[in-house]
Amino acid sequence: MMRTLLRILLAVGTVMALGLAMALSFDESGIDFQNEDVETAYIMLDRTADGLTVFMSEVQGTGFVATMDVEDELTDYDEDDFDSGDIYRYLGSRPWADKAFPSVVELQHASTWYRTIRLVHDQDVDTVTAAYLGRLAELGYAVSEQPITSNIAVYTVTQGDETIRMVVLRTGNDTAVTLTAL
């Protein structure tokens, strides 16, 4: 435990000393995980002190880029599960979205920040791609595209020391967007 804490403190100290921005952040505090009636999650992008930040919420806000169908994700949980405390043993008091929404959100950590955030949107690839690219431009990011196939496009997103690879993949009627800090 002490060794892990020391490693985390050293990693954070090194990043702070070098003045580098954390490249990705994720905030799902806009989702009430006790509300089994949540049908749609809205994804917004913004730039915070941690770098590019992905916000997940029950309401559409500033920086909206796409929606996610989460209607069937929380229906297995009901108020009795939350009241009894059973569900907290699995999810924790403030669950991470990838545990609550495993089919549409995947988060990979690199020590104390996110290395990869993967989101599956219930919209077509053209709509999602245009929204992401538009929002990234609004936030001041430079974007270069490397098309791979008609179903896959790869973008390099940069601002200052921050570099992110964005992969957009058509999956049937849905669109998967993967953001990876480089």
Helix H, strand E, coil C: the string for 70-110 is CCCCCCCCCHHHHHHCHHHHHHCCCCCHHHHCCCCEEEEEE
pLDDT digits (tens, 9 = 90+) for 120-158: 999 999 999 999 999 999 999 999 999 899 899 999 999
> What does the DSSP assignment read for 166-181?
EEEEEETTEEEEEEEE
Domain boundaries, the chain: 21-181
SS3 8: helix
CB 24 within 8 A of CB 115: yes
Q: For 63-121, how does the pLDDT look when each residue is reduced to its tens digit (9 = 90+)?
A: 999 999 998 777 565 555 556 655 555 555 566 778 788 889 999 986 667 899 999 99
59 Rama class: left (phi>0) / alpha (psi -120 to 50) / beta? beta
C-beta of residue 169 within 8 angstroms of C-beta of residue 176: yes
